[in-house]
Amino acid sequence: MRGSGLTIDKGTKMATPTKESAFEKHTPSILALIIVALLTWVGVTLNELQKNSATTATEMSYIKNDIQNIKQQNRSIYTKAEAQSAWGEYRKDMRALEERIRTLEIGGK
């Protein structure tokens, strides 16, 4: 009977205890140590991943706030189209003033 720690004597047909080798004696302890080491590694790894996830979430929050601030700043920026429109209005006003000056100069002579 292997695995039970007993052997059957063929002559007496009685079970007698067998000596376990050092390997057989320490195998459960070694397996338990390996399992504990793996569980510890998994725990530490999960803890690090959780910290990294929290850090990433915080950084993403800051980035979202920065993007919102940039969008607000862009809304209040004087755009090229607005500048061109204003410049066109200034040019019209300048032409009108030049025309008035010419009219006054001709009328004053």
Residue 42 lies in a domain: yes
Host domain of residue 103:
79-109
Q: What's this model's pTM, rounded to 2 decimal places?
A: 0.45
Residues 31 and 57 in one domain: yes
Displacement of CA 52 from its chain's centroid (Å): 7
Residues 36 and 69 in one domain: yes
- pLDDT number for residue 2: 47
Residues 67 and 27 in one domain: yes
- pLDDT number for residue 85: 92
Residues 64 and 83 in one domain: no
Mean pLDDT of the chain: 87
- pLDDT number for residue 46: 97
Residues 72 and 84 in one domain: no
Residue 16 lies in a domain: no
Mean pLDDT lowest for which of 1-5, 74-78, 97-101?
1-5
Using the predicted structure, report yes or no on whether residue 42 has a pLDDT greater than 80.
Answer: yes
Using the predicted structure, report yes or no on whether residue 13 has a pLDDT greater than 90.
Answer: no
Confidence bin at 100 (pLDDT 50/70/90): very high
Confidence bin at 24 (pLDDT 50/70/90): confident
d(CA 105, CA 2): 127
Residues 57 and 39 in one domain: yes
Residues 87 and 71 in one domain: no
